[in-house]
Chain A
């Protein structure tokens, strides 16, 4: 086998279906022995949120942002057919029937496979997220760290 290949995914979207696609590709790439990084920015940061409420000192706007956005992958909406929350309920039912892994399960599997989960520090600040609100064992970085991975990347995706 040749040297280790790299897969880099930017998860910009906070939609359940798009996060699912990103995490399926990431887990597949890890099975291909790629070094995999998922760089979460803007709405994609919601996938990394802990599902419970986390006490944090915040200003009014940051608190509002925190309330309006989904706490964790399981609470995210669909990019199509969301129907005020009916869509996610329906798709999760179908997923169960087809034995498809849920996004929280895929995230857990990603961590087990040693996939590098990165949160973009700049957008965390914009949206008012503090590190305690996000999953443990993730790293924090900016555009330079992403580019350092991406310039040697074999698969680069923006989702």
Chain B
């Protein structure tokens, strides 16, 4: 997967990961991929719902020792 931008929001709590993700994706072109790294356990449901509602695609996600990584393709 080609990652165009990485957003590190580790340590930040709701609603910051969402607000920052929205800002970061705004700086990308359509079809580019944003990687979001967060420690917010709520982000799993949040970013999936947000991507769906905002017309982006959540390509993949993984969890490693409390760190969640999401790959969102801009719609």
Residues of A within 8 A of B (CB): 1, 24, 27-28, 30-33, 98-101, 109, 113
Q: How far is the CA of A101 from the CA of B15 in the complex (A)?
A: 8
Residues from chain B with a CB closer than 8 A to the CB of A24 are 14-15
Q: List 25 A-B contacts (CB under 8 A).
A: A1-B54, A1-B55, A24-B14, A24-B15, A27-B15, A28-B15, A30-B19, A30-B22, A31-B15, A31-B18, A31-B19, A31-B21, A31-B22, A31-B50, A32-B22, A32-B53, A32-B54, A99-B11, A99-B12, A99-B13, A100-B13, A100-B14, A101-B13, A101-B15, A109-B19
Q: How far is the CA of A24 from the CA of B14 in the complex (A)?
A: 8
**How many residue pairs at the A-B interface have CB separations less than 8 Å?**
36
Minimum C-beta distance from A122 to chain B (A): 31
Chain A residue, CB-CB nearest to B39: A99
Q: How far is the CA of A113 from the CA of B19 in the complex (A)?
A: 9
A27 touches B13 (CB 8 A): no
Chain A interface mostly helix, strand, loop or mixed? loop
- Find residues 13-61 in chain B having any chain A CB closer than 8 Å to their own CB: 13-16, 18-19, 21-22, 50, 53-55
Given the contacts A1-B54, A1-B55, A33-B54, A28 and B16 also touching, CB distance less than 8 Å: no
Choose one: B11, B16, B53; the contact of A101 (CB below 8 Å).
B16
Residues from chain A with a CB closer than 8 A to the CB of B75 are 1
A28 touches B55 (CB 8 A): no
Chain A residue, CB-CB nearest to B53: A32
Q: How far is the CA of A91 from the CA of B21 in the complex (A)?
A: 27
